């Protein structure tokens, strides 16, 4: 007989002379149990719990009881929508609402989040989640807005408000507040609801004192929507706190400004910027100015002080353009300081 070590040529042959009735009964019991489970699954699939399909704000809420709306403007729901319950979150429990994103806001001066969902009255699948952040200062609100703005987003800035729409979302900074509206669909109904939310926010919230750097940058033809605010660790420098930055010219060139406690601190901070930039390359001279040249990118960066104002250029690739940009920024800082004296 051929010795087949891979396949048993007599695989269907029975070698047991008798079979246990206990084993047979146990097999029947297992089959009956599997049949019962299958029948239960089929029944439940055909008779689901209606609450599983309910699109209500409670499903988007982590369980907080309804709270006072605080500074959240009234009348956010347009015609055809209704408000769900309001919930509020402090720095110590913000993670319950936006786990994984809480540190982004905490690092930018977050004070409180108020949340409410707007749900369609006729079509419950339509909804807009409104997240209303109190960031403490206009600078912090602007920083949160700039940090979440998608590259290439078409923004608008008018009367103390900066905002833009995406497919099914609204992002707006006004005064000390930053708000997001996230819709359930990219539809005309959701877009109309988002526009209504924007109108209510603009009409109900104070614009607050305008950040001084916005006025400075406007003299250099930089719009408020292009200005970023770094509450701390600007350019990964631990000492760089409260820094405004904006793109300038071609490439990755940036201009930046910040306020120091006094003129001596401003001079020291400007020197720290140059040291920090030079740590990535070497120092070079352009005219009378000391610049830092990046070892790998060959880009140029520097900083200077004028009174309490620290200002500079970062990431310029053309030496002449870098010097020209710094000169224009210095002139703008000088004019701003002169108007304040």
Q: Across residues 51-60, what is the average pLDDT?
A: 49
Grade residue 22 by pLDDT with cuts at 50, 70 and 90: confident
Query: pLDDT value at position 133?
Result: 96
Do domains 57-204 and 212-340 share one topology? The answer is yes
pLDDT at position 62 is 47
DSSP conformational letter for 247 = E
Neighbours of 248 (CB within 10 A): 26
pLDDT tier, 146 (very low <50, low <70, confident <90, very high otherwise): confident
| 1 DSSP assignment | -
pTM surpassing 0.75?
A: no
The proportion of the chain whose per-residue pLDDT surpasses 70, expressed as a percent, equals 88
Q: Where are the alpha helices (DSSP H) in the chain?
A: 21-46, 57-60, 95-98, 102-106, 138-148, 188-204, 212-218, 263-278, 319-340
Confidence category of residue 12, pLDDT binned at 50, 70, 90: low
Mean pLDDT (whole number) for 198-226: 86
CATH 3.40.1000 fits 212-340, yes or no: yes
What is the structure's pLDDT at 150? 84
How do residues 192-208 score in pLDDT, each as one tens digit?
A: 999 999 999 999 998 87
The residue-averaged pLDDT of 224-252 equals: 88
Confidence of residue 65 (pLDDT cuts 50, 70, 90): low
Q: Which residue has the higher pLDDT, 112 or 21?
A: 112
Residue 128 neighbours by CB under 8 Å, 6+ apart:
81, 117, 118, 181, 182, 183, 184, 190, 193, 194, 197
**How high is the pLDDT of residue 60?**
47
In this prediction, residue 234 carries a pLDDT of: 93
Residue pLDDT, tens place only, 154-195: 888 888 888 999 989 999 999 999 999 999 999 999 999 999
Looking at residue 7, its pLDDT comes to: 66
For 4-8, 212-216, 279-283, which range has the lowest pLDDT when averaged over its residues? Answer: 4-8
Average the pLDDT over 278-285 and give the result: 95
What average pLDDT does the chain have? Answer: 87
Q: Is the pLDDT of residue 20 over 90?
A: no
pLDDT at 56 over 60: no
Q: What is the mean pLDDT of residues 64-93?
A: 86
Give residue 26's pLDDT: 86
Mode of pairing for the β-strands spanning 177-183 and 169-174: antiparallel
Overall average pLDDT of the 330-335 stretch: 92
Please check whether residue 286 is in contact with residue 300, taking contact to mean a CB–CB distance below 8 angstroms: yes
Please state which CATH class domain 57-204 belongs to: alpha beta
Q: In what order do the strands lie in the sheet containing 289-294?
A: 228-230, 243-247, 254-259, 309-316, 300-306, 289-294, 281-286
Query: In sequence order, what are the beta bridge partners of 180?
Result: 131, 171
Domain boundaries, the chain: 57-204, 212-340
Ranking 249-253, 273-277, 315-319 by mean pLDDT, the lowest is 249-253
Average pLDDT of the residues in 55-61: 48
Count CB atoms within 10 A of the CB of residue 37. 10
Say whether 44 sits in a helix, a strand or coil: helix
Q: How confident is the model at residue 4 (pLDDT cuts 50, 70, 90)?
A: low
* Mean pLDDT value of segment 213-219: 88
In the predicted structure, residue 280 carries a pLDDT above the cut 80 = yes
Listed residue (321, 324, 309, 295) closest to 262, CA to CA: 309
């Amino acid at each position: 007989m051929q010795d087949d070590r891979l396949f048993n040529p007599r695989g269907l042959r029975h070698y047991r002379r008798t079979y246990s009735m206990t084993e047979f009964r146990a097999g029947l019991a297992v089959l009956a149990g599997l049949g019962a489970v299958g029948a239960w699954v089929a029944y439940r699939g055909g008779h689901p719990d209606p609450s599983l399909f309910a699109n209500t704000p409670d499903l988007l809420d982590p369980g907080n009881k309804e709270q006072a709306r605080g500074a959240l403007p009234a009348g956010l729901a347009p015609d055809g929508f209704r408000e769900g319950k309001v919930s509020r979150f402090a720095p110590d429990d913000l993670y319950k609402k936006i786990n994984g994103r809480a540190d982004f806001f905490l690092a930018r001066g977050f004070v409180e989040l108020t949340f409410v969902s707007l749900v369609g009255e006729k079509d419950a699948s339509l909804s807009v989640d409104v997240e209303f952040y109190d960031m403490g200062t206009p600078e912090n609100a602007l920083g949160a807005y700039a940090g979440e703005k998608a590259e290439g987003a078409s923004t608008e800035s008018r009367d103390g408000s900066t905002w833009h729409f995406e497919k099914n979302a609204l992002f707006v900074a006004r005064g000390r507040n930053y708000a997001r509206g996230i819709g359930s669909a990219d539809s005309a109904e959701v877009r109309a609801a988002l526009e209504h939310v924007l109108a209510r926010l603009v009409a109900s919230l104070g614009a607050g004192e305008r950040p001084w750097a916005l006025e400075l940058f406007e003299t250099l033809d930089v719009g408020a929507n292009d200005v970023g605010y770094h509450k701390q660790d600007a350019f990964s420098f631990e000492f760089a706190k409260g820094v405004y930055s904006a793109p300038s010219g071609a490439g990755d060139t940036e201009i930046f400004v910040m306020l120091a406690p006094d003129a001596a601190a401003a001079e020291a901070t400007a020197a720290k910027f140059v040291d920090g930039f030079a740590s990535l390359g070497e120092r070079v001279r352009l005219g009378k100015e000391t610049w830092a040249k990046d070892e790998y990118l060959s880009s140029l960066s520097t900083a200077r002080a004028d009174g309490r104002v620290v200002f500079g250029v970062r990431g310029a690739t053309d030496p002449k353009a870098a010097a020209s940009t710094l000169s224009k920024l210095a002139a703008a800082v000088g004019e701003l300081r002169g108007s304040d004296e």
